[in-house]
């Protein structure tokens, strides 16, 4: 689609009328815009081939070879891209049972994934089984709230990751779900689960305030939202102050649009998740304006086309 026209045609709510003064199409037309496209999957669950033609709801959908063609097409637009996966790479088709995740990791490398995080099912072949496949992954696994010092993964994952694009810094931390009673202890071994809220607050503070990241992403396998007070992406969003975006997984949630929450400071934070199995690819385009002297304002407007 024609993005410019899309942006020109877009309207936003009257309540946020002050946005009008910013004249967004003009911003778009200047050369002082850095365009970065975030692409994301979650809970792909070893769905290497498309869903089988068995009369099921998803028959014929998804498939890694198709996702690659789609990625190539998006990347050919010429902007910077980051490809993220929010966990549960493993388990769900016989490919995993037979090859234990080797092909999943090789294909993700070939597709150019920039980062992944660890889901509960990524322990299904044991923490040793996961470690064994990391050799095929040419991208880092970022997980900030698992203590892995006493496990075979010690030193093989990252707490956070920063990318720089022409002066714009993107920071990312990873949040994993509580494993107790979800994964047998013998599979996750001595992995220590630390409080995701405390972890998120510490890492967003560090990335945003100490390391000067312009944009902070949480890559999460906590799940979108639960009844009761179980920690989820929505809970993290409300507690956070410096995170801009949460890319989630675990609950296999198909969202019609990203959810905008207000963070602790009353500012908008975006949550998104794209179902499971690679049926969808999430795409979020970020535009950073360089060196603007404009006084910062904040607000959100959404238009569904």
Partner 1 sequence: MNKKLWFIGLWLLLNSACQTTNYLATTEIDYEQVSPDTSAEIDEEIEAMISPYRKELDAVMNEVLGELEIDLIKERPECNMGNWLADMLYDEAKILNDGVLDFAVQNHGGLRVPSVAAGPITRGEVLEVMPFDNMVAIISANGKDVQSFLDHIASGRGWPISSQLKFKIKDKKAIDVEINGEPLDYSKTYHFALPDYIAGGGSGTSMLKGLTRKDYNVLLRDCFIQNIIKDTKAGHPQHPVKEGRIINLDHE
Touching partner 1, residues 173-212 (CB under 8 A): 181-182, 184-185, 208-209, 212
Q: Does 99 contact partner 1 by CB under 8 A?
A: yes
* Least distance between partner 1 and beta carbon 155 (Å): 27
- C-alpha distances (whole Å) from 208 to each of 23, 117, 169, 172, 285 are 27, 20, 9, 10, 20
Radius of gyration over alpha carbons of the chain, in Å?
Answer: 19
Binding flag, residue 116, partner 1 (CB under 8 A): no
Among residues 14 and 304, whose Cβ is nearest to partner 1? 304
- The residue from 134, 152, 190, 287 that contacts partner 1 (CB under 8 A) is 287
Inter-helix orientation angle 126-133/102-111, to 10°: 40
Q: Is 66 in the site for partner 1 (CB under 8 A)?
A: yes
**Residue nearer to partner 1 on the CB measure, 5 or 149:** 5
User: Rounded CA gap, 181 and 221, in Å?
Assistant: 16
Q: In whole angstroms, how close is the CB of 116 to partner 1 at the nearest point? A: 18
Residue that the structure tokens 């929010």 belong to: 86
Query: DSSP label at 173?
Result: E
Among 64, 118, 142, 271, the residue binding partner 1 under the rule CB under 8 A is 64
Judged by CB under 8 A, the number of residues near partner 1 is: 102
Smallest separation, CB 229 to partner 1 (Å):
17
In the bound complex, what is the minimum distance in angstroms from residue 64's beta carbon to partner 1? 6
Residue nearer to partner 1 on the CB measure, 155 or 166: 166
Q: Find the binder of partner 1 among 86, 93, 193, 221 (CB under 8 A).
A: 93
| Strand ranges across the sheet with 80-85 | 33-41, 80-85, 115-116
Beta carbon of residue 300, minimum distance to partner 1 (angstroms, whole number): 6
Instruction: Name which of 9 and 154 has its Cβ closer to partner 1.
Output: 9
Piece in contact with partner 1 (CB under 8 A), picked from 106-114, 134-142, 145-153, 195-203: 106-114
β-partners of residue 269 are 261
283 HSE (CA, 13 A, CB side): 14
- State in angstroms the smallest separation of the CB of 181 from partner 1: 6
Written as one string, the DSSP assignment of 63-132 is -HHHHHHHHHHHHTT-SEEEEEE-S--S-SSHHHHHHTTHHHHHHHHHHT--EE---GGGGTTHHHHHHH
Which CB sits closer to partner 1, 155 or 295? 295
Between helices 64-75 and 102-111, what is the axis angle to 10°?
Answer: 20
Q: Are residues 40 and 83 in contact, defined by beta-carbon separation less than 8 angstroms?
A: yes
Q: Of the two residues 157 and 271, which places its CB atom closer to partner 1 in the complex?
A: 271
The footprint of partner 1 on residues 221-280 (CB under 8 A) is: 241-242, 244, 256-258, 260, 265, 267-268, 270, 272, 274, 279-280
Q: Rounded CA gap, 142 and 116, in Å?
A: 6
Please, which residues bridge with residue 116 across strands?
Answer: 85, 141
- Residue 298 contacts partner 1 per CB under 8 A: yes
């Amino acid at each position: 689609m024609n993005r410019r026209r899309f942006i020109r045609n877009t309207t936003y709510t009257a309540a946020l009328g002050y946005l009008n003064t910013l004249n967004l199409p003009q911003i778009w037309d200047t050369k002082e815009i850095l365009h970065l496209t975030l692409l994301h999957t979650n809970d792909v669950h070893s769905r290497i081939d498309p869903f089988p033609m068995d009369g099921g709801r998803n028959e014929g959908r998804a498939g890694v070879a198709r996702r690659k063609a789609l990625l190539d097409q998006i990347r050919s637009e010429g902007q910077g891209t980051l490809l993220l996966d929010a966990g549960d790479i493993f388990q769900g088709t016989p490919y995993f049972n037979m090859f234990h995740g080797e092909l999943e990791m090789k294909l993700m490398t070939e597709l150019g994934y920039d980062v992944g995080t660890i889901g509960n099912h990524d322990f299904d072949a044991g923490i040793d089984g996961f470690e064994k496949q990391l050799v095929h992954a040419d991208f880092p696994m970022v997980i900030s709230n698992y203590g892995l010092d006493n496990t075979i993964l010690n030193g093989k994952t990252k707490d956070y990751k920063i990318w720089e694009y022409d002066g714009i810094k993107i920071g990312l931390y990873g949040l994993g779900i509580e494993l107790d009673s979800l994964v047998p202890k013998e599979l996750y071994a001595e992995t220590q689960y630390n409080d995701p809220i405390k972890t998120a607050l510490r890492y967003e503070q560090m990335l945003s305030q100490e390391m000067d990241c312009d944009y902070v992403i949480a890559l999460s396998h906590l799940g979108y939202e639960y009844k009761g007070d179980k920690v989820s992406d929505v809970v993290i969003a409300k507690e956070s102050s410096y995170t801009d975006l949460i890319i989630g997984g675990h609950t296999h949630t198909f969202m019609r649009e990203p959810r905008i929450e207000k963070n602790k400071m009353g500012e908008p934070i975006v949550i998104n998740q794209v179902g499971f199995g690679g049926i969808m690819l999430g795409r979020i385009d970020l535009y950073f304006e360089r060196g603007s002297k404009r006084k910062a304002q904040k607000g959100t407007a959404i238009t569904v086309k």
